[in-house]
Amino acid sequence: MHPIKTCADHDVCEVFTAEPETVARVRTRLATVDALRVAEFFKALSDETRLKMAIALCGERELCVCDLASAVGTTVANASHHLRVLRQSGLVKSRKAGKTVYYSLQDDHVRDFLSTAVEHGAEAILP
């Protein structure tokens, strides 16, 4: 009978030799990525309230601050704060109609990303 290996057995290579061609290819690809910008995107979504607001906007063309606040169970002031963070990160956009401010996702890329994340979260099986 063979011993069962745990995840810890697979976390570290037993051979410490990097492949120069692979490293060069990866570095070239990484040089084209604005990692700080992408990190800000994820940082904005790392808060549960902001994530819920973004997911709520996936299913609606746009929502006003009051509707979003009520839907996620927070105050209008708190919702406004979180929406400002989402707007500054480029995830949502806003428009004002009279005294009401409406928010929507920035574009279909954001909608697709969030939809995929929600779908993956529903399918994920943790060890």
Q: Is residue 42 part of a domain?
A: yes
65 assigned to some structural domain: yes
Provide CB contacts within 8 A for 64, sequence distance 6+: 100, 101, 102, 103
Taking residues 10-26, report their average pLDDT: 84
- Band (pLDDT 50/70/90 cuts) for residue 9 is low
The reply to whether 9 falls in a domain is: no
Whether 14 is in a domain gets the answer no
Q: Cβ(47)–Cβ(66) under 8 Å?
A: no
Closest CA to 57 of 82, 77, 78, 40: 82
Query: What's the pLDDT at 3?
Result: 44
* Residue 90 counted as domain residue: yes
φ/ψ (deg, to 5) at 23 = -60, -45
Inter-residue contact 62 to 104 (CB < 8 Å): yes
Number of domains in the chain: 1
- Residue 117 is part of which domain span? 35-123
Residue 7 pLDDT grade (very low, low, confident, very high; cuts 50, 70, 90): low
- For residue 3, is it within any domain? no
Residue 1's pLDDT is 44
CATH of the domain at 109: 1.10.10.10
- Alpha helices (H) along 9-75: 20-31, 35-45, 48-58, 65-72
The reply to whether 94 falls in a domain is: yes
Which pTM does this prediction carry? Answer: 0.78
Tens digits of per-residue pLDDT, 99-116? 999 999 999 999 999 999
Residue 12 lies in a domain: no
